[in-house]
Amino acid sequence: MRNIIAIIIFSSFSNFSQAENADYCTDVNRWATSIAYTQLKNSGYVTPETVDFTKTSIERIAQEKIGGDLFKQVHHVIFTLKDGSTIKVITVNDASSEECSMSGVDIYVVSKQL
């Protein structure tokens, strides 16, 4: 499933590049993961008591330079719940080498994996 999502996302990015920006935004304690969790919580998908934060994972799956020191980044975030189930999301946001939060975060819940 990740490969299919990556292909779809890559096809919409004309100047794909991973090497031009340090990957410091890809961390479970950074902007994309934090905002995704907050949106999931506000939407009723999770509560602080249901998420096993030690098993949360994030992977940057795409990045495009969109100007100067500005990059559009796409991350795959997996929140593992204490009952063993997972909630998978794709996040899209702008980041620079100085700041991960150069824009809001678009969050897409992956509801079914084929």
What CATH number did the domain enclosing 25 receive?
3.10.450
Tokens of 14: 């004309």
C-beta of residue 92 within 8 angstroms of C-beta of residue 73: yes
φ/ψ (deg, to 5) at 67: 155, 140
Mean of pLDDT values over 39-51: 96
The model's pLDDT over 100-109, given as tens digits with 9 standing for 90+, comes to: 999 999 999 9
The amino acid occupying position 25 is: C
Mean of pLDDT values over 28-33: 92
Instruction: Say yes or no to pLDDT of 10 above 80.
Output: no
Q: How confident is the model at residue 15 (pLDDT cuts 50, 70, 90)?
A: very low
Q: Which pLDDT belongs to residue 7?
A: 45
Q: Which domain holds residue 104?
A: 2-110
Burial of 33 (0-12, 13-18, 19+ CB in 10 A): buried
Q: Tally the domains of the chain.
A: 1
Mean pLDDT of the chain: 85
